[in-house]
Amino acid sequence: MTTRRDHAADTAGLRVLEIGSCLSVAYAGMLLAEQGHRVDKWLRADGGDPVLDLDDGEALWRWLCHRKILTVRHARQVADLEPGSVDVVIDNLRWSAWAGWGVSPRAQAERLGARWVSLRDDFDGRSFDAVAQARAWGEHLGCVPAYLGDTAAGLWLAFKATAGGEPGHYVLRHAALLAKLVEGELAAAPRREGASAPGRYGLNDARDGVRVWYRGGWVTEPLRGERWRRTHLGHDAGRYRV
């Protein structure tokens, strides 16, 4: 049963199947849809998603789902797909959920001849933004903007899905991806004696903005609101262009 079709993506791009809930996998699917790929998003039986329970959830849901084909189907029905019917599958479900349904993403990827990319936490549980942020930054968690873990993971998920290579099952680890994106590899590397930290940040009075320590001095970046962003950053009807 198809529930809605937003700006059907009948293009020569990849045929992408998005399975999962919340932000990360939906953000990855949105990026792929915006790049001209056909993205089918499977919804659970009640058609809902935890995104709808967030502040401004309905607006966020519309943003994440635009250009996608929304269909109510259970994730286990991936086993009913015909070989060659999809090019890419992306999901953020727990491995135990797939096992409980008797579905092996690895076996299904081989059967379908598709690249299947799963986003999971570092211990094979569900990918969850707040947990990933805590693992990636530890005591610096309070400095992490909301949803950064979900959007960063979605970027990596979309990249891996379209990176090419042989069909098969690939697993990405949420906290590791997030740490990698924000120079976690540099911060985690053994630090030479006397070497400076990757960066220091401080918040002045709101009128001054955010200060960043750069090459021996503080650089102040003024706070810029929505009006400034809409004036100076490339966008189309409020959606920033890439």
Q: Give yes or no for residue 4 having a pLDDT over 70.
A: no
Phi, psi for residue 75 in degrees, rounded to 5: -55, -35
For residue 148, the model assigns a pLDDT of 80
Q: How confident is the model at residue 200 (pLDDT cuts 50, 70, 90)?
A: low
**Helices marked H in 22-173:** 24-34, 57-65, 95-100, 105-112, 129-137, 148-161
Q: Give yes or no for residue 16 having a pLDDT over 70.
A: yes
Nearest Cα neighbor of 69 from 31, 29, 113 is 29
Residue 13, amino acid: G
For residue 145, the model assigns a pLDDT of 58
Whole-angstrom distance, CA of residue 148 vs CA of residue 153:
8
Q: What is the largest CA-CA distance in the chain?
A: 63
Q: Is 239 exposed, middle or buried (0-12, 13-18, 19+ CB in 10 A)?
A: exposed
* Contact predicate 190/202, CB 8 Å: no
Whole-angstrom distance, CA of residue 48 vs CA of residue 50:
7
pLDDT in tens, 139-188: 444 455 567 888 989 999 999 999 988 999 999 998 888 877 765 565 55
Tell me the pTM: 0.78
* 3.90.550.10, 1.10.260.40, 3.40.50.10540, 1.10.3720.10: CATH of 2-184: 3.40.50.10540
Q: Is the dihedral of CA 93, 94, 100, 102 positive or negative?
A: positive
| Segments making up each domain of the chain, as ranges | 2-184, 199-240
pLDDT in tens, 68-116: 999 999 999 999 999 999 999 999 999 999 999 999 999 999 999 999 9
Q: Give yes or no for residue 194 having a pLDDT over 60.
A: no
pLDDT in tens, 43-79: 999 878 989 988 889 999 999 999 999 999 999 999 9
Minimum mean pLDDT range among 13-22, 166-175, 200-209, 226-235: 200-209
> Average pLDDT, stretch 4-23?
72
Q: Give yes or no for residue 203 having a pLDDT over 50.
A: no
* Contact predicate 116/108, CB 8 Å: yes
For residue 7, the model assigns a pLDDT of 39
Distance, CA of 136 to chain centre: 15
Q: Give yes or no for residue 189 having a pLDDT over 70.
A: no
Whole-angstrom distance, CA of residue 240 vs CA of residue 53:
25
* Contact predicate 113/106, CB 8 Å: no
